[in-house]
């Protein structure tokens, strides 16, 4: 059901009200994961492997168990043994066995920081002392820490019992968890017809989402065998599903209360500490809380995959793309899932290429198991594709935007995976980029202080998922509306969802009071991720608001003893179509209504929102003396479908670009040869701060989605896709050579300049 509302009729959508949770957050009253304190609560600590790859021969917990103040000690033997059964098909994939073993290693550790045991005690310090008394006998093995090492024929194997899927063939003793291929058209023939073929290989280091709030888990396993969990999560229902699987409990025995969340970007979809807190609680008969340190977060929570990507594109003499080939090798970490299917879907997504061949490898390495990070897989492949596009334009002496417009993907373009695009807005984005002030401003190549400047441009794509959401509405006696939802609010989604209900109800955004509730209090709602929340939960709010109007209409008809067909509801006023004396405000109705509470409940299960495209333009300045790069101007242009709350949309675009700039210039898991991250603190893992960046300019292009009543598309992930290639292309523009491995840090630039 999609009914169109004319743009001119919007009263709430497109405005910028103050977010409903703003006061709690700026005053510090908001309760985050570790803020929950329960009566009788004790504290846990985990023992983590110091080795990246080792067999666990024996664990002696006896000294820890006998320590004063210790309540319980657990190892993986306290968890049920799970099978290779595959889990769902959205954010949480992979086998149940691997889910459990990532929470706590059974017989092998696969990355430094992998949990091997846990303790609960009176206080954190006692728990930390106790884990030092646990003796683990390891047989240390050689680690593999990148795709080249892992795919070597003589590589140490991470999972001796794992069977890889290589184009449907079952393969033992391999670190390639999955090898897949996608083919459209006759690629070999198409490349033969090309007048120019350009191929580039790029390399990306592992990076972390860098959310401010570390992971935590608080749980009580009560006497009725029900587990209650309080945690910082992007999806309380996904969290419940994972916890129940690890503990082999029915989902009805687990209740997850999502706390406020201090950032996630995909990294707070997996579970780490919650099942451990639950088992320790069962053994201790007390509520137990565990919190990660920053080093724990870097060492042992899921980063974005590093890896290597080769892209080859062939064009005719006019610049028309005829063929594309990609080889994608991404690091899954210790357990499968490097998002290679998403990467394959995104690699040629911006272009209309008749023949495409994509090979993709999900590669196991001795690093923490990868987690989603804003458009997982897409930034990695955009780096390769947009570098090739830049190079083709230079070789053909074509304008960078005109070339993209010549080959732009549009409605009806067949994608690399096969299906055709529905209505999308990349053409409109590129046309806006061509007209933008940034693109039309002249960049002086030399700054006058010895620094050199360059400009780069790149496009990117994310497909924006749909999936399940539920919303409940309840009319208060003062005419305001309580909205309850299951989507945890990371980027202002309370406001964007409340605004959609308010638009339908014809009341202001502040008159809808949104609350994020626990898993016992709302219908199943999938994660806040995949750029789905404003789209899917917003759609549920839209439906629920219409149902609430039906309720109001029905009850108002009874109050006036007239037919429901005679009732008109508009802008929060209830009136009779035939009797001008019969009218009342929503507040008057709510106060007078004698027919019981006015409530509604709606749910949706949606498909993808037809994808979002963005194009970024960057100007940067490089100091040849030091190699330091400063971004001096940055513009994000993106098709946002319909911006419900433009400030939060702009914030998403600026945030995504900022993270992408960090990925391009500074961030990396700096690993020792034995698989240990050497920069696991914010002092050494250098993310951009406000002082590093100019104000990021945003241009919102609204090409409404055909699948949402207000045209919402999802906006949060696309903006992290173009920054790496945009900056790499700008560096090439500045110094005349390409650096095709991230991060493009000062030392690499300096070494490159010295070698020229």
Partner 1 sequence: MIKVFLPYKTRKLFDLPVEIDAEGNNLRNLIEFLDIKYPGLKQELVDDEKLKPTISAVIDGRTTRLGLIQKLDKVSEIHFLPSIAGG
The binding site for partner 1 (CB under 8 A) comprises: 86-93, 165, 167-168, 180-183, 265-266, 269, 337, 339, 341-342, 345, 371-377, 417-422, 462-463, 465-467, 527, 529-530, 605-608, 717
Give dist(CA 313, CA 200) in Å, integer.
Answer: 9
CB closer to partner 1, 631 vs 657 = 657
C-beta closer to partner 1: residue 371 or 703: 371
**How big is the CA angle at 464 (ends 461 and 466), to the nearest 5 degrees?**
165
Complex with partner 1: residue 11 or 420, whichever CB lies closer: 420
**600, two tokens:** 């509604």
Q: How far is the CB of 86 from partner 1 (least distance, A)?
A: 5
In order of 137, 139, 315, 355, the CA distances from 41 in angstroms are: 32, 36, 65, 61
Nearer Cβ to partner 1, position 465 or 620? 465
Name, in order, each residue with C-beta under 8 angstroms of 326's C-beta and a sequence gap of 6 or more: 309, 310, 311, 312, 344, 347, 348, 356, 357, 358, 359, 360, 381, 384, 385
Count of CB atoms situated within 10 Å of the CB of 576: 17
* Residues ≥6 apart with Cβ < 8 Å to 144: 53, 150, 152, 155, 156, 158, 175, 364, 365, 366
Query: What SS3 state is found at 315?
Result: strand
For residue 93, the Cα-to-chain-centroid distance in whole angstroms is 14
Minimum CB separation of residue 329 from partner 1 in Å reads: 17
Instruction: Label residue 377 left, alpha or beta by phi (over 0 means left) and psi (-120 to 50 means alpha).
Output: left
Q: Say how far apart CA 199 and CA 486 lie, in whole Å.
A: 46
Assess contact for 697 and 631: CB atoms under 8 A: no
Cβ-Cβ contacts under 8 Å for 393 (sequence gap 6 or more): 319, 399, 400, 403
Q: How far is the CB of 335 from partner 1 (least distance, A)?
A: 12
Cβ closest to partner 1, residue 182 vs residue 191: 182
- Rounded Cα distance between 274 and 301, Å, is 13
Least Cβ distance, residue 379 to partner 1 (angstroms) = 12
Backbone angles phi, psi at 716, to 5 degrees: -75, -25
Tokens matching residue 448 = 């006058």
* Residue 459 · residue 430 · CB < 8 Å: yes
Residue with smaller CB distance to partner 1, 346 or 653: 346
Report in angstroms how near the CB of residue 418 gets to partner 1 at its nearest.
Answer: 4
Minimum gap (Å) between residue 419 Cβ and partner 1? 4
Is 1 or 683 the residue whose CB approaches partner 1 more closely? 1
Least distance to partner 1, CB of residue 342, Å: 5
Region of residue 44 (left: phi > 0; alpha: psi -120 to 50; beta: else)? beta
Q: How far is CA 384 from CA 313, 336, 462, in A?
A: 10, 23, 16
d(CA 193, CA 648): 47
CB nearer to partner 1: give 465 or 700: 465
The 8-class DSSP code of residue 677 comes to B
* Shorter beta-carbon distance to partner 1: residue 93 or 436: 93
Q: Which residue has the tokens 């992290």?
A: 720
Residue with tokens 């009341």: 507
456's enclosing H/E stretch is strand 452-462
CB of 637 to partner 1, least distance (A): 23
Nearer to partner 1 among residue 412 and residue 597 (C-beta): 412
In this complex, which beta carbon is closest to partner 1, that of residue 165 or of residue 518? 165
Residue closer to partner 1 by CB (options 4, 181) is: 181
Structure tokens at 616: 């970024």
Tokens of 288: 């137990």
Residue 596 tokens, joined: 């019981």
CB of 120 to partner 1, least distance (A): 31
Considering the complex, what minimum distance in angstroms separates the CB of residue 493 from partner 1?
15
CB of 181 to partner 1, least distance (A): 5
- Least distance between partner 1 and beta carbon 245 (Å): 13
């Amino acid at each position: 059901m999609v009914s169109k509302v004319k743009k001119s009729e919007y009263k709430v959508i497109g405005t910028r009200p103050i977010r409903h949770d703003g006061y709690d957050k700026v005053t510090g009253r908001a309760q985050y994961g570790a803020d929950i304190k329960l009566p009788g609560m004790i504290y846990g600590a985990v023992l983590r492997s110091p080795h990246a790859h080792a067999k666990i021969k024996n664990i002696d917990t006896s000294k820890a168990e006998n320590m004063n103040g210790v309540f319980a000690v657990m190892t993986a033997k306290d968890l049920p043994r799970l099978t290779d059964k595959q889990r769902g098909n959205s954010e949480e994939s992979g086998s149940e066995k691997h889910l459990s073993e990532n929470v706590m290693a059974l017989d092998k550790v696969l990355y430094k920081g992998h949990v091997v045991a846990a303790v609960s005690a009176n206080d954190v310090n006692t728990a930390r002392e106790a884990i030092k008394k646990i003796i683990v006998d390891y047989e240390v093995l050689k680690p593999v820490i990148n795709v080249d090492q892992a795919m070597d024929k003589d590589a140490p194997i991470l999972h001796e019992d794992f069977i890889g899927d290589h184009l449907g063939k079952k393969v033992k003793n391999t670190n390639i968890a999955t090898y897949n291929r996608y083919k459209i058209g006759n690629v070999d023939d198409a490349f033969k017809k090309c007048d120019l073929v350009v191929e580039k290989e790029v390399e990306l280091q592992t990076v972390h989402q860098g959310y401010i709030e570390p992971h935590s888990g608080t749980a009580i396993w009560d006497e009725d065998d029900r587990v209650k969990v309080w945690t910082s999560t992007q999806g309380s229902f996904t969290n419940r599903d994972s916890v129940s699987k690890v503990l082999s409990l029915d989902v009805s025995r687990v209740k997850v209360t999502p706390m406020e969340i201090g950032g996630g970007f995909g990294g707070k979809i997996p579970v780490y500490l919650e099942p451990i807190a639950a088992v320790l609680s069962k053994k201790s008969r007390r509520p137990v809380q565990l919190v990660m340190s920053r080093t724990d977060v870097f060492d042992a929570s899921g980063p974005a995959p590093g890896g290597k990507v080769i892209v080859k594109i062939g064009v005719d003499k006019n610049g028309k793309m005829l063929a594309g080939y990609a080889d994608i090798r991404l690091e899954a970490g210790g357990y499968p899932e490097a998002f290679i299917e998403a990467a394959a879907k995104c690699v040629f997504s911006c272009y209309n290429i008749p023949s495409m061949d994509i090979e993709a490898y999900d590669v196991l390495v001795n690093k923490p198991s990868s987690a989603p990070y804003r458009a997982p897989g897409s930034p990695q492949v955009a780096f390769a594709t947009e570098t090739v596009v830049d190079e083709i334009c230079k070789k053909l002496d074509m304008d960078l935007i005109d070339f993209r417009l010549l080959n732009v993907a549009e409605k009806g373009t067949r994608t690399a995976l096969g299906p055709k695009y529905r209505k999308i807005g990349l053409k409109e984005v590129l046309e806006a980029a061509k007209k933008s002030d940034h693109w039309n401003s002249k960049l002086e190549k030399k700054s006058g202080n010895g620094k050199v400047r360059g400009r780069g441009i790149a496009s990117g794509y994310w497909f924006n998922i749909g999936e399940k959401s539920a919303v409940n509405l309840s009319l208060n006696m003062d005419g305001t509306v309580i909205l309850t939802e299951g989507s945890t609010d990371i980027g202002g989604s309370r406001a964007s969802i409340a605004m959609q209900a308010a638009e339908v109800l014809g009341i202001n955004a502040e008159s809808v009071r949104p609350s994020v509730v626990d898993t016992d209090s709302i219908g199943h709602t999938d994660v806040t991720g995949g750029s789905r929340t404003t789209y899917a939960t917003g759609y549920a709010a839209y439906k629920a608001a219409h149902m609430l109007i039906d309720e109001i209409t029905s009850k108002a008809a009874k109050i006036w003893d007239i037919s429901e067909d005679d009732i008109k509801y508009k802008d929060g006023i209830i009136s009779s179509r035939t009797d001008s004396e019969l009218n009342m405000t929503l507040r008057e109705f709510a106060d007078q209504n004698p027919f019981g509470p006015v409530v509604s409940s709606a749910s949706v299960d949606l498909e993808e929102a037809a994808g979002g495209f963005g194009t970024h333009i960057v100007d940067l300045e490089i100091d040849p003396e030091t190699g330091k790069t400063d971004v001096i101007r940055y513009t994000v242009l993106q098709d946002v479908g319909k911006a419900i709350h433009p400030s939060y949309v702009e914030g998403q675009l600026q945030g995504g670009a900022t993270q992408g700039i960090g990925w391009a210039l500074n961030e990396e898991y700096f690993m020792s040869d034995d698989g240990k991250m050497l920069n696991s603190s914010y002092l050494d893992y250098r993310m951009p701060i406000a002082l590093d960046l100019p104000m990021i300019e945003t241009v919102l292009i609204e090409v409404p989605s055909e699948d949402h009543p207000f045209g919402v598309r999802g906006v949060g992930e696309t903006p992290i896709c173009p920054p790496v290639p945009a900056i790499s292309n700008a560096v090439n523009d500045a110094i005349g050579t390409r650096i095709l491995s991230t991060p493009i840090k000062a030392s690499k630039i300096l070494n490159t300049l010295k070698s020229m």
